A and B are shown apart, each in its own frame.
Chain A
Amino acid sequence: MSIAESILNIVDEYMINENGRHLKEVAVEIGELVAVVPDSLTFCYEVLIEDTPYKDSKLDITIIPLTGTCTDCNQSFKIKNYEFICTHCQSTKLEIQGGQELRITHLEVD
């Protein structure tokens, strides 16, 4: 619920400058490693926007897959089953490239 609230607080900051335009969509990226269930977030968002100017808007959630680069062999790959081990050389020295996002990318208005 507090994530949905944080989304709406940020949306407010932008919509105040949009002079009476309507919010249609909030585009959100959630990384695979982030502990957020998309359906729950959508539900919380819908509860919070009832009786607000945003009541017709939608949350557009994109899940960002977990990917990493091995710092030993420099290969990049998809991290499967949350096993942080290089699929090429079995090293555990990985840099996470994607999958930790929890952000708003943009709003669609009309």
Chain B
Amino acid sequence: MPIVTVERKILEKNDDVAAQNRKIFHENSLFVINLLSSPGSGKTSLLEKTIKELNDSLKIGVVEGDVQTDNDAQRIAKFDVPVVQIVTNGGCHLEAKLVQNALENFELSDLDLLVIENVGNLVCPANYDLGETKKIVMVSTTEGDDKPAKYPSMFRVSDVMIINKIDLLPYVDFDVNTVQKHALLINPDLTIIELSCKTGEGFEGWIKWLQSNLE
């Protein structure tokens, strides 16, 4: 039977657009984070508190990705920062092209930090490069402590793992050591930050990480 040789990456188009985004970010000296987690881990809460802490010293822009509603964008808009909502209408991840389209709504040269809050999902977003500088994956103590073991791909591609809701540790069966151990076996270079967006405990570690990367 005749064979037609292809030998091409299935997501090459996304990779190409991600490379264009990366170039745009670089030209504007913009530090861009892709924030990833399951639904309900606290991505938007992390953003709200980060903006509160840094809004005086940094120009922050936000891209909100959600399957439906602009609820998260409304939460962020209260802080008077530029925010663009992408509604994926069922799509379970953001793609580089969607982010590129959203960039038209920002004065990129005015910004220091752009946060892309991805759709809550630990599977598909791992495959889609958006052109970001760093990927931040978040887990929370109200989830299973086997998240890294169950979703190794996401933890392998991420640069930082945030463990959120540590104020609830006395009430849940979440073993921080188990998560750390698994995550570091998958990705020995992973930076791990434990914090609570609610009480602020450990939050200075996150702010410090951001500031050292923004220098």
Contacts and interface: CB of A to CB of B under 8 A. Distances in A.
Contacts of A21: 2
- Counting chain B CB atoms within 10 Å of each CB, the highest count among A2, A7, A21, A36 belongs to A2
Interface string B73-100: 0000000000000000001010100000
Interface in A1-42: 2-3, 6-7, 9-10, 14, 18, 21, 24, 28, 33-36
Interface residues of A, number: 30
Interface stretch (B39-47, B52-60, B130-138, B147-155): B147-155
Contacts of B151: 35
Given A10-B8, A83-B186, A108 B3 contact: yes
A105 B9 contact: no
Given A106-B3, A106-B5, A3 B127 contact: yes
A107 B3 contact: yes
B30 interface: no
A44 to B, nearest CB: 12
Given A14-B4, A34-B127, A35-B151, A9 B156 contact: no
Nearest to A7: B10
B7 A103 contact: yes
Contact of B124 (A18, A35, A103, A106): A35
Interface of A: 2-3, 6-7, 9-10, 14, 18, 21, 24, 28, 33-36, 81-85, 92, 102-110
